[in-house]
Amino acid sequence: MQGFYGLLITLSIFVIPLWLILHYRSKSIAERHGVPEAEINRLEQLELRIEKLMQRAEHLEQILDEERPGWRDTLRDKN
């Protein structure tokens, strides 16, 4: 259950806001400046790459949660 909350917190803090920012930023730029289709496609590709990287980070956190419970606490103690 702790891993679920960690994943939920990670999604809430990093993935969702980052996705929203990039999504609406690319839309507003395209609307204001008439960005070429190639640039819009490139932004969408970058957005997908970011999503994949965030999923990888979440997966690594899940592995750490399973193999080393409490690893988050050791990180907090160091800061």
Whole-prediction pTM: 0.50
Give the CA count within 13 Å in the CB-facing half-sphere of 24.
5
DSSP at 37: H
Measured at the alpha carbon of residue 11, what is the angle toward residues 3 and 70, in degrees to the nearest 5?
Answer: 30
Q: What tens digit of pLDDT does each residue of 21-60 get?
A: 888 787 777 677 776 778 888 989 999 999 999 999 999 9
Six token digits for residue 5: 């909350």
pLDDT confidence of residue 5:
72
Taking the domains of the chain in order of start, what are their residue ranges? Answer: 2-74
Contact (CB, 8 A) for 76 and 6? no
